[in-house]
Amino acid sequence: MNASLESLFPNHQHAEDSIVTALNHQDIVVALSAALKSQNVAVLHMLYPRTDARTHRSLDALVDKLHGHGLHETARLIAEEAHYLLLKDPLKAWKVFQEIRHDSLAIGVHLYYHGLVGEAAERALDTDAHRKA
């Protein structure tokens, strides 16, 4: 893969005479999801707060629910508190995103898809996940 600062971060100011530039976390994850656009890879950034017993039970319930959907590898990674998940199947990514977002008190999640974040990423993933074959 041939990448340049300009191609990975097109909206970032790159001074010609500077040898250093600053990026934030979101810049990097958006660039990663944009670079993986042709493969329809969804990037989920997982947020695991320090848990009490109630949120720990919620995490366990989420892991069980994902196992029930046949998403065993995803369930294992979440049980291990992986911070980033890269999902290659838009329909499975949509299912995981919705389960986490709507059914878990234990963790939060940010979706990045096709170089988009937030509501725009959700709409794009929803479209691809539910596209008729």
CA-nearest of 101, 86, 79, 102 to 29 is 86
pLDDT tens for the chain, 133 residues long, are: 567 666 677 676 666 777 877 778 898 999 899 999 999 999 999 988 766 666 667 788 899 999 999 999 999 999 999 999 999 999 999 999 999 988 766 688 999 999 999 999 999 999 999 987 6
Residue 77 included in any domain: yes
Residue 21 included in any domain: no
Tokens describing residue 49? 């707060």
Residue 13 included in any domain: no
Residue 96 included in any domain: yes
Residue 117 included in any domain: yes
Residue 19 included in any domain: no
State the DSSP string of 39-97: GT-EEEEEE-PPP-HHHHHHHHHHHHHHHHTT-HHHHHHHHTT-SEEEES-HHHHHHHH
Give the DSSP H or E segment for 117. strand 116-117
Residue 23 included in any domain: no
Question: 117 lies in which domain range?
Answer: 28-129
Q: What is the pLDDT of residue 4?
A: 67
The burial class, CB within 10 Å (0-12 / 13-18 / 19+), for 4 is exposed
Quickly tell me which residue has 């300009």 as its tokens: 6
Specify the number of domains making up the chain.
1
Residue 121 included in any domain: yes
User: How many CB atoms within 10 Å of residue 74?
Assistant: 23
